Amino acid sequence: MPDQIKRIAVMTSGGDSPGMNAAIRAAVRTGLHHGLEVYGIQQAYAGLIEGDIRRMTSRSVSGILKSGGTILQTARLPQFKELGYQRKALRRLNEYDIDSLIVIGGDGSLTGALALHKLGVRVVGIPASIDNDIAGTSTSIGVDTAVNTIVEAVDRLRDTASSHERVFLVEVMGRNCGYLALVSGLITGAEIVLIPERAMSLDELGDVVVRAYNQGKTHALGIIAEGANLKCSDISEYLLRHDIGFEVRITILGHIQRGGSPSAFDRLLATRMGVAAVDYLLKGETGVMVALEGRGIITKKLEDVIGKQRPLSPQYDELADILIR
């Protein structure tokens, strides 16, 4: 163990995702197991700068494994892109004698982690975001739970859509990434999936709906990624103007997708990543992110993964061509 590692701190940052608590719990307990002092930073980089930092014990993380959200809370602090704010954070870490930091969050949060690493802080990141847009890892904490939430909601919408012979346009999250829309469209039997990676015109979308109507379908489901080239309202107006046979309704799933108890998969992934983050720190790694590759948890250099959106699997694209119609 590099002898300077004595006090580590954990924070969650950016959009929360189900499983963050499981990762906090695993990191805290692994740190304590190795005889380290462990601190929790409340409200991400904002809390770090303000010194909202508390000592964590094994009891601090009891009973949180199954809870969504994050007990450390999260925040967005756009000014953290500025060197002055990063230096304030460094000063605060030095004040508390914290030598190592674990940042649990998305691409933006990991970019902040890299900035601190460049100022000399030992840092390990843990990828957590429902969007599945973080490069370098097969998946991130929270994605599986979010997909399950979307599927449950869309299955319910399909029941009512079918009863009333309606088109339902369902907007799902994902920022600029179409993963949530594509995968949930594939496994709910949607007729339409619109994702940022593959723009479609209103005429193309209209044709799909007209075809569904002419084939005698009792409904049509469209999963529209929030970052897609068209909004649900654009599509709805177009369909109404062209009198396609079905009535149209819009559902925006919104932040429902970010809450809820983490799935078994996310609990296990978060637990493994939390343990691995501390283990890799103790092995002397810094400036890295833990990542799922195959069945193993490995590390990737932060500078190799941040700012690069994880590409969609071409296999899912092929499946979509065959099945989404």
Binding test (CB under 6 A) with ligand ADP, winner from 109, 140, 188, 271: 109
- The residue range among 26-34, 104-112, 195-203, 232-240 that interacts with ligand ADP, by the rule CB under 6 A, is 104-112
User: Under 8 Å CB-to-CB from 3, ≥6 apart: which residues?
Assistant: none
Could you say which of ligand ADP, ligand F6P, none residue 173 binds, taking C-beta under 5 to 8 angstroms by partner kind?
Answer: ligand F6P
Stretch that binds ligand ADP, among 10-18, 21-29, 87-95, 161-169 (CB under 6 A): 10-18
133 is catalytic: no
Q: How far is the CB of 47 from ligand F6P (least distance, A)?
A: 17
Of residues 128 through 147, those in contact with ligand ADP by CB under 6 A are: 129
Which of ligand ADP, ligand F6P, none is residue 294 near (CB under 5 to 8 Å by kind)? Answer: none
From residue 160, how far is each of 61, 115, 169 by CA, in Å?
Answer: 41, 49, 13
From the number of C-beta atoms within 10 Å of its C-beta (0-12, 13-18, 19+), residue 109 rates as buried
Cα angle 277, 278, 279; round to 5: 95
Contacts with ligand F6P by CB under 6 A lie at 15, 106, 129-131, 173-175, 226, 258
| Residue 13 binds: one of ligand ADP, ligand F6P, none (C-beta under 5 to 8 A by kind) | ligand ADP
Shortest distance in whole angstroms from residue 24 CB to ligand ADP? 16
Those residues with Cβ within 8 angstroms of residue 122's Cβ, 6 or more apart along the chain or in another chain? 5, 99, 100, 101, 281, 286
Distances (CA, A) of 29 to 57, 74, 178: 8, 21, 35
Angle at the Cα of 85 from the Cα atoms of 84 and 89, rounded to 5 degrees? 120
115 counts as binding ligand ADP under rule CB under 6 A: yes
Partner whose footprint covers residue 130, from ligand F6P, ligand ADP, none (CB < 5 to 8 Å by kind): ligand F6P
Among 27, 77, 205, 291, binds ligand ADP (CB under 6 A): 77
CA distance 155 to 187: 10
* C-beta neighbour count of 112 within 10 angstroms: 26
DSSP, collapsed to helix, strand or coil, labels residue 191 as coil
Question: Which of 19, 31, 106, 142 contacts ligand ADP by CB under 6 A?
Answer: 106
Which among 52, 99, 107, 131 is annotated as catalytic? 131
Residue 153 to residues 32, 160, 223, 226: CA-CA distances in angstroms? 40, 11, 11, 16
Active site residues: 131
The residue ranges that bind ligand ADP (CB under 6 A) are 13-15, 45, 76-78, 80-81, 105-109, 111-112, 115, 129
